[in-house]
Structure 1
Amino acid sequence: MDEAAPWPWVAALALGLEAVLGYPAGLKHPVAWPAALIEGLERRWNRPDASDGRRRALGVVLVLLLILAAAALGVAIHAALGSSLPALTLVALIATTGLAQRSLHDHVAAVLAPLQAGDLPAARAAVAMIVGRDTEALDAEGVAAAALESLAESFNDGVAAPAFWLLAGGLPGLFVYKSVNTADSLVGHREPRWRAFGWASARTDDLLNLIPARLAGALIALAGGGGWRTMLRDARRHASPNAGWPEAAMAGALAVQLGGEARYDGEIVARPTFGDGPRPTADDLERGLRLYRRACALLWLIPLAAGLIIALAQ
């Protein structure tokens, strides 16, 4: 069998296993390893007395090191295990660590339950686990909107994009994506401290998400039976070239309005809005979770279809 042929089946199996098993509670997540490397090199290389040019160059070196190390690890694991059916099953199990279908669903469901019960403080505490904005003053609609925005954006970052790169590049592709995405989350910021050093991490993450984000938006619109017009119209309003696609698709599919003004570290930040409907309610959040499950199921069909096409072509 061609070495590339098993990867669609590995991706499909990994998606299925992760949806059922999730990630073991209490077990340190593998992204902690590149995170430790990134934080260590950031402290050493991103010195405030260095010029922006030097800091940007060292940020490029950081990304190259991450890519080489992640790809080498993926190649080494696959080479060590081989291509037997038990080995590929183990590879799929390893790949589940880079996916977040189950954990994302569970975190959003943890917001929905108290919101439906009318326990706003508990809902605020739950949504604070998945968003970066201040949540202490959010009303019920604000909590529902924050959860839906996180659900839509994380469907790309935690599900569609890692699945895409697993399908396209096997474990090396998955590990490279997760390492770069981790670097972007840690140093790819616009604040003065990170603007130069994190430039390469942010731009590389944008590049790796270019196709997956649009795929994620399309899957959300397809699963929701609508939202295409809103996605195509509003996606480019987002400051990110990618995050607006799944978020605008979610707003359109649910016929609600997402985005808008939010508070971060006590400061009000103006953000664009997505969609023309009313602000979302707990019922809309419940609909969003159902839509998310359908979108995940549609995503599973992609590697299955790719595997069948490859098998028929051989």
Structure 2
Amino acid sequence: MAEPVALVALCFDAAFGWPARLYACIGHPVGAFAKVVARCERWWNRREASHTAQKAGGIATVLVLIALAGLGGTILTIAANTFGAANWLIIALLAWPALAQRSLDTHIVPVIAALQSDDIDRARSTVGMIVGRDTAALDQTGICRAAIESLAESFCDGVVAPLFWLLLAGLPGIWIMKAVNTADSLIGHKEAPYRHFGWAAARLDDLMNLAPARISALLICLAGPGGWKIGWRYRYTHASPNAGWPEAAMAGVLRVRLAGPAAYDGVMLDKPWIGEDVEANLESLLRARRVYHRSCAMCWVIAGGAAWLA
């Protein structure tokens, strides 16, 4: 059996998340990527530049991120290997911050607690911390729907995709994935001023999540049987080529409908529905959390199996 790097990294993340004290002392690596993106944007996303120049600047930004994350991951791997037999544990520790099992769960719990105490204003505020849509006017159904969608999509972005790239390409792979994902979340938008500058980040993020999104949907369906039909039927309903897979699978497992019309920055978008059954409610959100936990557990099995077979 090879060293269980991925399994141990998952264990650290599940046990500790990214501790607040550690964050206060050194921040989080994703924050460093965000600073790089901000600096590159100031340099290369000038409003007076042509669309071609803006797109070229976005490509350069992504290349800078890949170089920094890839080189950093490689150097850290080489440094860890100097510790002999303990190298795999050090690599697991260095991969740990890229995973977000506990963080996702920690953000969902306050939403559930607020709804259980019938505090709709607090529920709107807490769900607003994890979704991009306007939440000030959401009712309980809208809050639950937003939370479930975020949990399903983030299962891919925060758990499956990092694990996939860690198993495939080690520290360089997992940190390149996080760098690209960070860039996509910051600049990968269709609206100005990022429409052209963020093109490369959005497209590369889509490519890197192609396999993880489909694996995520499979795990969700295995964690809560019954999602196959709806998951397959609605997998391409979402505007993203990847996000629709785990969201459709979750809608099928829970037998609720997700997505639908939503407001962003005061503008109502007529997004299509995902699913065919009843509206989401607190009970379906609680079930979604249980499905998420079981799906994460299966990631542990995959990580352990990969180590066993290596």
Q: Give the TM-score, by structure 1 length.
A: 0.95
1:187-226 equivalences in 2 (<5 Å): 187-226=187-226
Segments of structure 1 that go 5 or more residues without pairing to the other structure are none
Aligned: 1:21 with 2:6:
no
Query: Following the alignment from structure 1 to structure 2, what is the Cα–Cα distance between the partners of residues 86 and 141?
Result: 49
Distance across 2 between alignment mates of 1:65 and 1:47: 18
1:77 corresponding residue in structure 2: 76
Q: How many residues align?
A: 305
In the alignment, the residues of structure 2 paired with residue 11 and residue 272 of structure 1 have an alpha-carbon distance, to the nearest angstrom, of 37
Structure 2 Cα separation of the partners of residues 85 and 107 of structure 1: 37
Residues 1:139 and 2:139 are matched in the alignment: yes
What amino acid maps onto 1:167 in structure 2? L
Find the aligned partners of 2:266 and 2:295 in 1 and give their Cα distance.
35
Q: C-alpha distance in 2, partners of 1:236/1:206?
A: 13
In the TM superposition, 1:243-262 aligns within 5 A as: 243-262=243-262
Deviation (angstroms), 1:66: 1.0
Summarize deviations over 1:229-279 as a string: whole Å, max 9, x none.
Answer: 111110101110000000000000000010001111111111111111111
Q: What amino acid is aligned across from residue 170 of structure 1 in structure 2?
A: G
Q: Deviations over 1:138-185 (max 9, x none)?
A: 111111101000000000011110111111111100010000001111
Tell me, yes or no, if structure 1 residue 302 matches structure 2 residue 297. Answer: no
Report the Cα distance in structure 2 between the residues aligned to 1:84 and 1:238, rounded to whole angstroms: 47
1:31 partner SS: helix
1:110 Cα offset (Å)? 1.1
Cα distance in 1 between the residues matched to 2:142 and 2:57:
40
Q: Secondary structure at the match of 1:236?
A: coil
Distance (Å, rounded) in 2 between the aligned partners of 1:97 and 1:49: 38
The one-character-per-residue Cα deviations of 1:22-59 (angstroms, maximum 9, x if unpaired) are 11114111111111011111011100111111111121
In 2, the alpha carbon distance for the partners of 1:232 and 1:204 equals 24
1:237 partner SS:
coil
SS in 1 for 2:20: coil
- After superposing the two structures, state which structure 1 stretch, 191-200 or 287-296, moved more: 191-200
Aligned position for 1:11: 6
Aligned partner of residue 250 in structure 1, secondary structure: helix
Alignment of 1:44-193 (within 5 A): 44-82=43-81, 84-193=84-193
Aligned partner letter, 1:21: F
Deviation at 1:85, TM superposition (A): 3.9
| Deviation beyond 2 Å, 4+ runs, structure 1 | 83-87
82-91 or 241-250: which moved more?
82-91
Going from structure 1 to structure 2, the CA distance change for 1:230 and 1:85 (only over 3 Å counts) comes to farther
Give me the whole-angstrom Cα distance separating, in 2, the residues matched to 1:107 and 1:49.
40
Distance 2:307 2:88 in 1: 14
- Structure 2 gaps, min length 5: none
Task: Give, in angstroms, the shift of residue 226 of structure 1.
Answer: 1.8
SS of equivalent to 1:177: helix
1:221-236 pair list within 5 angstroms: 221-236=221-236
Amino acid at match of 2:67: L
1:86 CA displacement: 2.6
Residue equivalent to 1:290: 290
Instruction: Measure the CA separation in 1 of the matches of 2:11 and 2:144.
Output: 28
- Percentage of identical aligned residues: 50
Deviations 1:266-294 (A, max 9, x none): 11111111111111111110011011000
- How do 1:24-35 and structure 2 match up within 5 A? 24-26=19-21, 27=23, 28-35=27-34
SS in 2 for 1:253: helix
Secondary structure, aligned partner of 2:268: strand
Query: What TM-score do the two structures reach when normalised by structure 2?
Result: 0.96
Give how far 1:192 is off: 2.5
For residues 10 and 183 of structure 2, what CA distance do their matches in structure 1 show?
24
Q: Comparing 224-233 with 286-295, which one deviates more in the overlay?
A: 224-233
